[in-house]
């Protein structure tokens, strides 16, 4: 009796030890047999993506239009007449872009300038804070992304965003798209979900820069804010830049050279 109990305990201890090690064994085996995901080999990587807009070079509706077109056609963004439109990238005046830094006597140049507007991909994004389903979330590289599959369309993020960067699909977006001219590599959205600029996360994964940056003839600089030697940091070091509504503490990742 005694002996068998001792044996039992020994056996139990041994089994427990095996159990402890087996997950590790499983992980080792995963390299070959088990299917798994991994990042693309040719992706562009950063700790925090950021953009610098040189408004001295890019400041008219005519100059901004091709960038908007590049963005909206790649991402199948509809154009809806009226106040229910969808916007990923658009243009605004100084007053609209920086309403908290007004000036009663601005320079003529500044008064005429148009500024590109897009999601700021904030470091402290209020939209992510308020989303009840994590449908909008912040990636480790700082990009504020949207999961359209999960969005319930409560529009809390739109109330939370102090930059008006989010658009809701009030109706069926395909009703306002030229369905023959769609980019078939990218989906559309469905009605009832919120959408916005995604910093071309799908292009970064393929080693390409965002579409607007590519179309900007150097007026937009894109890179890793956390890397002191990156192009964006160089541009920020050499120029006077401002961000939208800095007092709100959202820490936008889009900078404007004035």
In terms of phi and psi (left: phi > 0; alpha: psi -120 to 50; beta: otherwise), the region of 131 is beta
Question: 208 is written with which tokens?
Answer: 């390409």
Residue 145, beta-bridge partner list? 137
Per the listing, tokens 């979900």 go with: 193
Interaction mask 201-230, other proteins, x per CB under 8 A? x---x-------------------------
In the complex, minimum distance from the CB of residue 10 to other proteins, in angstroms, rounded to a whole number: 38
Interface with other proteins (CB under 8 A), residue from 39, 81, 218, 228 = 39
Interatomic CA distance for residues 200 and 239, integer angstroms: 25
Question: Is position 199 an interface residue for other proteins (rule: CB under 8 A)?
Answer: no
Q: How far are the Cα atoms of 185, 200, 201, 241 from residue 232, in angstroms, in the given order?
A: 29, 17, 18, 11
Question: Is position 252 an interface residue for other proteins (rule: CB under 8 A)?
Answer: no
Other beta carbons within 10 Å of 170: 15
In the complex, minimum distance from the CB of residue 161 to other proteins, in angstroms, rounded to a whole number: 7
* Neighbour-count burial of 26, counting CB atoms closer than 10 A to its CB (0-12 exposed, 13-18 middle, 19+ buried): exposed
Number of residues that bind other proteins (CB under 8 A): 82
Interaction mask 58-97, other proteins, x per CB under 8 A? ------------------x-----xxxx-x----x--xxx
Restricting to residues 137-196, name those near other proteins by CB under 8 A.
Answer: 137, 139-141, 145, 147-156, 158-164, 167-172, 174-175, 178-180, 182, 184-194
- 195 SS3 class: strand
Rg of the chain taking only CA atoms, in angstroms: 24
| Residue 1 or 179 with smaller CB distance to other proteins | 179
Residue 168, beta-bridge partner list? 194
Interaction mask 94-123, other proteins, x per CB under 8 A? -xxx-xx-----------------------
In the complex, minimum distance from the CB of residue 132 to other proteins, in angstroms, rounded to a whole number: 4
| Residue 97 or 230 with smaller CB distance to other proteins | 97
């Amino acid at each position: 009796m005694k002996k068998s109990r001792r044996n039992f305990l020994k056996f139990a201890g041994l089994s427990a030890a095996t159990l402890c090690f087996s997950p590790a064994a499983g992980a080792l085996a995963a390299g070959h047999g088990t299917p798994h995901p991994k990042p693309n080999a040719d992706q562009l990587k950063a700790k925090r993506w950021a953009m610098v807009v040189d408004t001295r070079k890019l400041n008219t509706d005519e100059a901004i239009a091709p960038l908007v077109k590049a963005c909206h056609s790649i991402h199948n963004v509809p154009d809806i007449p009226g106040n229910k439109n969808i916007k990923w990238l658009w243009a605004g005046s100084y007053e609209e872009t920086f309403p908290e830094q007004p000036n009663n006597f601005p320079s003529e140049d500044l008064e005429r300038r148009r500024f590109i507007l897009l999601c700021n991909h904030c470091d402290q994004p209020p939209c992510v804070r308020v989303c009840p389903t994590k449908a909008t979330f912040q990636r480790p590289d700082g990009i504020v992304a949207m999961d359209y599959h999960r969005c319930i369309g409560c529009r809390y993020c739109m109330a939370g965003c102090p930059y008006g960067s989010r658009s809701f699909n009030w109706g069926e977006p395909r009703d306002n798209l030229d369905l023959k001219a769609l980019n078939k590599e990218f989906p559309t959205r469905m009605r009832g979900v919120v959408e916005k600029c995604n910093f071309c996360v799908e292009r970064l994964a393929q080693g390409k820069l965002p579409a607007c940056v590519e179309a900007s003839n150097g007026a937009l600089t894109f890179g890793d804010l956390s890397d002191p030697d990156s192009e964006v940091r160089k541009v920020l070091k050499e120029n006077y830049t401002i961000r939208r509504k800095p007092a709100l503490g959202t820490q936008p990742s889009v900078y404007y050279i004035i």
